[in-house]
Structures are given as C-alpha cells and as structure tokens.
Chains A and B, each alone.
Chain A
C-alpha cells in the first residue's frame, strides 16, 4: 500500500463544474501537506498548502482531517486551464516529501 493514495481518475468535467479530489496518507507523523499541479511533460508546481483549519485560494479550497488522515481539494467553476494532474503531497517536519501518483483532470468546453 502506498503512503499517499489518491483518487485514480481521470476526471472529465465540463467548464464551470465543481470537482473534488481526495487523498489519504498513512504516516501519522506527517506535519505538512500540499497540493501540487503538474502539466503534461512539465515539472510539478506548488498549488497550495493545506492547513487543519481549511484554506481557500480563489476557486480552490483545501481541507485536512488529521484524525482520518485525509486531504481534499475542491475546484469550483472549472476552467479549461485547470486541466492538469493534481498531486497530493505530505511530509514530516523537514526532509523528504511523499507524493501521490496524481489525479488527472480534463476540463472540456
């Protein structure tokens, strides 16, 4: 079983739709949590950090449930430009991070 597991996807949604991605992690010592976005044949780029209280950045909302070891990302009003692979990432305080295998999103006109 992988340390970080994500919805297998792919998700194909129309423009304007709301889509949610889920992620679970197994290391209870994890302290930091992130969502990264990776476009095809490009490097991952930090989308947002995830905090226990939940946080929002424009159309994107991230939630963390430490008790259930569960992370989510909600995208509202999807745009064509949101099409990418979304990677869930967890890490202990310092050092390595563990990435999920990603969930692919395609937003269609």
Chain B
C-alpha cells in the first residue's frame, strides 16, 4: 500500500480484556517498529522487527505485551489482561531497511482506552 496502515483506529477495552492491534507496513519495507505514545509525551519504543525476526523487544513494558510478524509483513501487537495504564496511542512505523538513514513512516496509530 501507499502508507502504513493500522487498525483499529480506536479501541475501547474493559480492564482485563485482551486486545490485538494490527499494522500493515509499506510494501517492501524490511523494518517495522512499534511505539507507545502517552498524552503529552513523545513516542516510547516497544519493539523492532527486521523481516520476521524480532531483534529488540526491550521496550515492552511487561509480559502482557507480545508482538509478532510471522511472514515479515503484517505485524500484530497483542496486549493481554489490559490495565488502565495501557491507555495510549500505539504507533507502528516502517522503514526501508534496518538503518536509520531515512527515518520512519508512521501509521495513524491505534488509540487504546482501557476503562
């Protein structure tokens, strides 16, 4: 596609519910990143894939967070047993290769509200 596509755009979850957020990167982009952005703050790194390999998951806040990219294209970020502190915008970004030469293209994000 022409850009990075994320779905759903908005998600309201009851505390304790599991959620799955989808990211479809730009076709041919090798690298895919997930970030979490709280209100009034900059995006915080969660995890990074190069093709299907998850090379860095150091930013995942707890073992309730899990990400996958099984075929090196679409990625899913799953949050189990959601808590109120998980409320944030989840941003997916892709880049042509693993280097940071050209920066990222971000999707529009998924705004998660846990009630």
Chain A residues at the B interface, C-beta cutoff of 8 Å: 4, 31-32, 34, 36, 42-46, 49, 87, 89, 91-102
In the assembled complex, how far is the CB of residue A52 from the closest CB belonging to chain B, in whole angstroms?
14
- Size of the B side of the interface (Cβ < 8 Å), in residues, is 27
Q: Which of B3-22 contact A (CB under 8 A)?
A: none
In the assembled complex, how far is the CB of residue A41 from the closest CB belonging to chain B, in whole angstroms?
8
| Residues of chain A lying within 8 A (CB to CB) of residue B33 | 96-97
B34-69 contact mask (Cβ, 8 Å, vs A): 1 or 0: 010000111111001000000110110000000000
Report 17 cross-chain contacts, Cβ distance below 8 Å, ordered by A residue.
Answer: A4-B42, A34-B100, A36-B103, A42-B108, A43-B106, A44-B106, A49-B101, A87-B42, A91-B100, A94-B100, A95-B48, A96-B45, A96-B56, A96-B58, A96-B59, A101-B41, A101-B42
Interface flag for B91 (CB, 8 Å): yes
Whether A32 lies near B100 (C-beta < 8 A) is yes
Chain B residues at the A interface, C-beta cutoff of 8 Å: 31, 33, 35, 40-45, 48, 55-56, 58-59, 91, 98-109
A4 to B108, CA, bound (A): 23
| Residues of chain A lying within 8 A (CB to CB) of residue B101 | 32, 49
| Residues of chain B lying within 8 A (CB to CB) of residue A87 | 42-43
**Closest A residue to B101 using CB positions:** A32
